[in-house]
Each structure stands twice: as C-alpha cells, then as structure tokens.
Amino acid sequence: MKKHIVLLPGDGIGPEVTASAQRVLEAIAEEFDHTFTYESKAIGGYAIDEYGTPLPDDTTAACKQADAIVLGAVGGPKWDQNPSHLRPERGLLGIRKELNLFANLRPVQGFDNLLHASPLKREVVQDSDLLIVRELTGGLYFGQPSERRNDGASVVDTLAYDRSEIERIVRKGFEAAQVRKKHLTSVDKANVLESSKMWREVVEEVKSDYPDVTVDHMLVDAAAMRLITNPTSFDVIVTENMFGDILSDEASVLTGSLGMLPSASMREDDFGLYEPVHGSAPDIAGQGIANPLATLLSVALLLRHSFHLENEAKLIESAVADALDQGYHTRDLHVKGGQVINTEQMTGIIIDFIRANS
Ligand code: NAI
Ligand code: MG
C-alpha cells in the first residue's frame, strides 16, 4: 500500500512525539511492505514565529493532498499574550474546520499496569473499554448568534444543528459500534433541549440500517455519573460537541494518564487527522522524556480508520500493552516498579515488539 502522510509537529513536545510516530510508521511500512511518504508542515506557535500565521496556506494545501495527518500539539507560554488571530490553537481549529473533520473519536481503554494510577477503584475501572464519538464542527461551540446584548446586560449562545449534521455523526457512532461490542449509547438532554429531541429522532430513524447494534438513549447528566460508577456498561457513546468535550475529559480519568489517550478527527470518508489528547507539555519540552504512547496509539487509529490496516493497528496496540506489562514506562506514568525510560527508548521498545511479532 502506498500512502502520503502529512506531519504537523507543532510546539513543545509535539516534534518529539511526532518523530516517534514517524519512526513507528516506518517500521510498520518495512515489516508489511507498505510505502509511506512524509511531509512535515508548520502549524501553531512554530508557524506564527516562522510565517506570521498559525495556519499557513501551504500547510492547509498539503493537508488537503494527504491521505492522513499526524499532529503533535500546539501552544505554549511564549504565545499566551498574543492577540486572538495569532494564537496557536487557531491553527488547530482552523485545520479541523478547513478539512471538515466533524467526527472526533476518542477511545478510552484501561491498561492493567496503570489501573492503580486512576483515582477510581480498581474494580470499577478494570476492563473499561469505550469510545466517545463527539460531534466536532457544530453544536453549541459554533451556533450563531453567540454574542453580548443590551450593552452587555445579557448574552446568548446557540445550539444549532441541521438534521444532516446530526445524521452523519450518528451514523459514525453506529458504524463504530458495529466493529466493536455492537452497543451504542446516544447521549443528549432531550428532556429539555429541542436540539436533543431532534437528535433522538434521527437516531431512531437511522437505527434500522444497523440491526446488529443495540441502541439506547441516555441523558447527559446520568451519563456523566454512569461513566465513573459503571464505565464497563458503555461501548460507543455518540454525542453533541460540548457534551462530548466534557464527557471525554471525564472518561480520561479511567486510564490514569493523559499521556496515554489517542484521538482521531474524521470526515465522511476515511480521511482523518490523528493526535494525542494531551497538549504541548512546555514544562518537559526539549528534554526527550515525553511519553510517545498517546501519539503511537493515534498512529494505530490512523492505520485502522484511514488505511484499513487492522493487523498493523492491533500490532501497535499490543506493543503498547506489552511494554507496560513488562514495566517499561516514561516518567509521567505511575507504574509500580519497572524501569523509567525516555521517548527514544520507548519508541525503540515498541519497534522491537513490532519487528518480533509481524
Ligand atoms: P498538557 O497536556 O500539555 O500538560 C499537562 C501535564 O501533563 C504537564 O505536566 C505535562 O508535562 C504532562 N504531559 C502531557 N503530555 C505528556 C506526555 N506525552 N508525556 C509526559 N507528560 C505529559 O496541558 P497544559 O499544560 O494544560 O497545556 C500546555 C499547552 O498545550 C498550552 O499552551 C495548551 O493550550 C496546549 N494544549 C494543546 C492541545 C493540542 O494541541 N491539542 C491540547 C491541550 C493543551
Ligand atoms: Mg477539552
């Protein structure tokens, strides 16, 4: 298979974890006889410094030509005082919008050797394995009007969706459930919000296209509670932009570490942007000690969702589990015993496993 991948290293530890991703992709390509080509482009604070804008046209153009994108992270204290059009996160929001990446997939899976790092009881988080499918380009974060009124005495935000926008994300949810445990939970606030009532209608309309999937509806407040009291009762959750933002941060405590969470942002076809959930970690940038595993798990998502290379994806996921089982961990992970290693060493261990098991 021949594919072209654009790398957007960004800021802080972004370039370190992106370099790790490229090394692992190269090992996969070699072992499985694929040809992956790479092109690195500027985004975020780095792009502001070099080109005077967080998202150069040249970056957008390269992304549009790519088969998939790997992003590190953007931002840092250096740009915190910049005016809003010169903020690094403008680059990230801009590229998501330019590429119409409306579906944000966040798998949350506990690793045995990290369970004790979660503040939740082991017996509650053990075996949790769920996927949050969050709508990313509509809903409360984008609805108009959103403004101050009456000389600042009142304010309005709008939760707006077209039926077609709901349908495409709901279908992503069903499709994801079909290849997992075939259980979809649609999360809304249908007892209060008109937008949620339409959301429920759409789910009910399309569900007959997925007869193998069991679907239920849950109010977002109940879902928030259930996520930490009974996480194993979920398989796939599909929900509105802001609900998904909140629930996915909540779900991240199940895994015990920010450095372990991958994400995929997809559109209608198989194209996607893959990035770790964590930020640019300016406090440890440049030291070579960043945990690359969230990014490598994002690479697994890339191989699965954009290239349909399920075996290659699974191999990376097994490699990560195996490294942790053997006690290897980066400084941010609180694994009992074992050995603390740096970014390059962790990448090497993952590659060794790939070569030994492919
Ligand atoms: P952060 O995720 O960058 O860091 C939080 C803490 O976790 C820090 O102590 C950091 O050292 C640690 N950490 C995060 N990822 C790690 C990894 N892979 N390995 C080891 N330790 C890791 O969040 P923070 O500090 O709130 O934000 C820092 C900058 O990142 C800000 O400028 C923020 O705007 C930006 N940010 C960017 C995101 C993105 O590009 N998608 C997402 C979140 C934040
Ligand atoms: Mg968030």
Q: Is the domain covering 1-107+259-358 a CATH 3.40.50.720 domain?
A: no
- Whether a cis peptide bond, with omega within 30° of 0, leads into 282 is no
118 C-beta closer than 6 A to ligand 1: no
Q: Which CATH class is domain 119-254?
A: alpha beta
Ligand whose nearest atom lies closest to the CA of 13: 1
pLDDT at 115 (0 to 100)? 81
Two tokens at 236?
């796939």
**Distant-in-sequence, close-in-space partners of 353: CB < 8 Å, separation ≥ 6:** 315, 318, 319, 322, 323
Ligand whose nearest atom lies closest to the CA of 134: 2
pLDDT at 265 (0 to 100)? 97
- Nearest atom of ligand 1 to the alpha carbon of 292: 18
61 C-alpha vs ligand 2 centroid, how far in Å? 27
DSSP state string for 70-137: EEEE---GGGTTS-GGG-HHHHHHHHHHHTT--EEEEEEE--GGGGGGSSS-HHHHTT-EEEEEEE-S
**What number is the ipTM of this complex?**
0.98
49 C-beta closer than 6 A to ligand 1: no
Instruction: Verify whether residue 189 is a known catalytic residue.
Output: yes
pLDDT at 110 (0 to 100)? 83
Q: Give the predicted TM-score (pTM) of the model.
A: 0.93
What strands lie across the sheet with 262-266, from one edge to the other? 35-40, 2-10, 68-73, 272-276, 262-266, 103-109, 129-135, 236-239, 183-188, 214-219
Give CA–CA dist 83/216, Å, rounded: 44
- Nearest atom of ligand 1 to the alpha carbon of 17: 18
Low-confidence ranges of the chain (pLDDT < 70): none
- Nearest-CA residue for atom 8 of ligand 1: 281
280 C-alpha vs ligand 2 centroid, how far in Å? 14
How do the domains of the chain map onto residue ranges?
Answer: 1-107+259-358, 119-254
- CA 171 from centroid of its chain's CA atoms: 18
Residue with tokens 């069903």: 174
Give, to the nearest 10 degrees, the angle between helix 44-51 and helix 88-98.
100
67 C-beta closer than 6 A to ligand 1: no
